[in-house]
Amino acid sequence: MNAHVAPLSPASFETGPAVIVSNLVRSYGSRVVIEKLNLRIERGEFVALLGESGCGKTTLLRALAGLDSIQGGRIVAPRRPAVVFQEHRLLPWDSLWRNVSLGLQVPDARERAAEALTEVGLGDRLDDWPRNLSGGQAQRVALARALVQQPELMLLDEPFAALDALTRIRMHELVRELVANHQPGVLLVTHDVDEAIALADRILVMRNGAIAYEHRAARNGSTPISRSELLAELGVNSHSTH
């Protein structure tokens, strides 16, 4: 589909990178949206990508997903990445297990879907319809659909933005757990600074089509990422908040 996405050798799976982006260029006509961007995400690493609207972060995610063509550079990924969008994008005419197993080319698709749905706490709703789900439940099914593909790289495009605050916190817990269990590399595009701090091992701030700031959280949490520093990077002066 995308000529720039080259498969890595299977031997490098276990500890290797989930994706390597080098000198990526993405433009619409003469307008360059992403300019010579480099990015490497390891398996099991959770990267959050912050940035103002229009900074190119969703464009980057779509390029990684193979949804848009790129005009320069290389994206090297071991396998097709899984994507969770802001909207759940469940097929309303298919039951939950059929939705989760969409695109899965295995004979035991139903069992695999059942496992994934159980992991997100909906194991008893295999034959239910999407329209009977709440927003949070639907997004959990979307997560199950991404996980069932056993991705090396999972792309999350503001998947919790449309959820209420409490549901969002529960989803954070769930995602943390799922990522810990499956160890995919994760790129989370978000507007929410606190979400990024809560979930990510590494936080990137994108500006004018390039990565302008990078912060790696210490694994043991000894040096937490400074919220005000991040907000300053995003152009928000926050004297009153802490």
Partner 1 sequence: MELSGIDRAAIGANSAPSAQSGNSALAPTAASRRPGARGLQLLSWLAPVVLVAIWEWLAQAGWLSPHILPAPSKVIRTAFKLATTGTLLNDLGVSLLRAAAGFAIGTAVGGGLGILVGFSRIAEAAIDRSVQMIRAIPFLAALPLVIVWLGVGETQKIFLVALGVTFPIYINTVLGIRQVDPKLLELGRVQGLSSLQLIRRIILPGALPSILTGVRYALATAWLALVVAETIGAQAGIGFLAMDAREFLRTDVIVLTIVIYALIGVAADGIARFLERRLLAWHPNYGAAR
Site residues (vs partner 1, CB under 8 A): 1, 65-67, 80, 82-83, 85, 87, 89, 91-94, 102-103, 129-132, 145, 149
| Nearer Cβ to partner 1 (6/67) | 67
Could you tell me the smallest distance in angstroms from the CB atom of residue 141 to partner 1? Answer: 12
**Which DSSP letter does residue 35 get?**
E
- Judged by beta carbon, residue 137 or residue 197, the one nearer partner 1 is 137
- CB closer to partner 1, 162 vs 232: 162
DSSP code for 224: P
Q: Which is nearer to partner 1, 66 or 72 (CB)?
A: 66
Structure tokens belonging to residue 78: 């071991």
**What is the C-alpha to C-alpha distance for residues 64 and 75, in angstroms, rounded to an integer?**
7
Q: Give the nearest distance from C-beta 69 to partner 1 in angstroms.
A: 13
CB of 105 to partner 1, least distance (A): 8
Quick check: 173 and 145 in contact, CB under 8 A? no
Residue type, 189: V
CB of 131 to partner 1, least distance (A): 6
Residue reference for tokens 């959280």: 217
Based on CB atoms, which residue is closest to partner 1, 19 or 196?
A: 19
Asked if 79 contacts 7 with a C-beta cutoff of 8 angstroms, the reply is yes
CA 59/CA 40 separation, integer angstroms = 17
Write down the least CB distance from residue 21 to partner 1, Å.
Answer: 18
Q: Which is it for the CA torsion 86, 41, 215, 24, positive or negative?
A: negative
Coil, helix or strand at residue 229: helix
Tell the smallest beta-carbon distance from residue 223 to partner 1 (Å).
36
Whichever of 57 and 145 has its CB closer to partner 1, that residue is 145
Q: Which is nearest to 195 in space by CA: 151, 240, 230, 155? A: 230
